[in-house]
């Protein structure tokens, strides 16, 4: 029996949200034995997400977890000032701990942000991970490719090519690793935290799970790129704003 891929996706309301999630769901539809855990950064579930999931033909769970107000990005505040997705990813981990069983459920957990670009091959690479698998990520950390460095003799991860905060224990992007489900369930305390330095979310979680020499390199010894940290441009809605000042809108 094929292990299930559990993709955890935090998402928040903005003009491009439906477009992002439509593209993502159409990638996910092509993956066998797939389960989508989508967590809205909101007080309550929205119809937009509920309908999108209902029509998606995917197996899914729809959760909500609002980011605490003190950690919410202020209008005009740069993105990097506050961590994103923390409360949402932890809520998904809690759901897995309450609804999946260490001895009977086999699967792998992947943190799939709503704006990245995923090659289907990525999901073949991660499915049989025993603890934590790692691979390169494109367009992140100020590089074309940020990736683990593999020792040819041992086949083990010995470091990283990262330039941004390379002193992190695991200088890797959220899109660059996946965790075996029973293994994660064997670490009931492991979670993300608001109280870590900027850019240390991934490193802090992985430090709670494994040591460097336990990492399982994937994607042809970390030489292939199957995921890109793409970011979507904000939509220009200048004229929409003008319309709405007149009590009208273009989307109804």
Annotated binding site for UDP-alpha-D-glucuronate: 10-12, 41, 84, 89, 113-115, 229-231
Coil, strand, or helix at residue 134? strand
Residue 77 near residue 103 (C-beta atoms within 8 A): no
Is 146 one of the binding residues for ligand UDP (CB under 6 A)?
Answer: no
Coil, strand, or helix at residue 232? coil
- Residue number of the CB atom closest to Mn ion: 115
Handedness of CA 88, 92, 94, 98 (dihedral sign): positive
Q: Name the maximum alpha-carbon separation found in the chain.
A: 68
Of 18, 23, 62, 73, the residue at the interface with ligand UDP (CB under 6 A) is 73
* 10 versus 182: smaller Cβ distance to ligand UDP: 10
Binding site listing for Mn(2+): 115
Select from ligand UDP, Mn ion, none the partner in contact with residue 180, using the beta carbon and a kind-dependent cut-off of 5 to 8 Å.
none
Tell me which long-range contacts 233-237 makes (C-beta under 8 A, separation of at least 24): 234/14, 234/15, 234/16, 235/15, 235/16, 237/15
* 85 versus 171: smaller Cβ distance to ligand UDP: 85
Site map (CB under 6 A) of ligand UDP, residues 176-215, x = contact: ----------------------------------------
Closest CA to 124 of 110, 137, 114, 145: 110
Establish whether 202 is a catalytic residue: yes
Q: Please, what is the minimum distance in Å from the beta carbon of residue 251 to ligand UDP?
A: 20
Is 41 one of the binding residues for ligand UDP (CB under 6 A)?
Answer: yes
């Amino acid at each position: 029996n094929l292990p299930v891929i559990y993709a955890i996706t935090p998402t928040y309301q903005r003009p491009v949200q439906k477009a992002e999630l439509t593209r993502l769901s159409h990638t996910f539809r092509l993956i066998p034995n797939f389960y989508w855990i989508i967590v809205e950064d909101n007080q309550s579930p929205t119809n937009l997400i509920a309908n999108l999931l209902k029509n998606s033909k995917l197996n899914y769970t729809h959760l909500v977890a609002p980011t605490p107000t003190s950690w919410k990005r202020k209008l005009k505040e740069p993105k990097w000032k506050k961590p994103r997705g923390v409360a949402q990813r932890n809520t998904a981990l809690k759901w897995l701990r309450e609804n999946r069983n260490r001895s009977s459920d086999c699967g792998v957990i992947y943190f799939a942000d709503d704006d990245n670009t995923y090659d289907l091959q990525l999901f073949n690479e991660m499915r049989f991970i025993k603890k934590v698998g790692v691979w390169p990520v494109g367009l992140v950390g100020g590089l074309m490719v940020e990736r683990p460095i593999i020792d040819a003799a041992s086949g083990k991860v010995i470091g990283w090519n990262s330039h941004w905060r390379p002193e992190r224990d695991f200088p890797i992007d959220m899109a660059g690793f996946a965790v075996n489900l029973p293994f994660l369930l064997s670490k009931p305390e492991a979670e993300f935290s608001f109280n870590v330095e900027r850019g240390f979310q991934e490193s802090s979680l992985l430090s709670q799970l494994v040591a460097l020499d336990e990492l399982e390199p994937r994607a042809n010894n970390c030489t292939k790129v199957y995921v890109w940290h793409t970011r979507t441009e904000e939509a220009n809605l200048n004229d929409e704003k003008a319309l709405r000042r007149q009590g009208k809108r273009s989307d109804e």
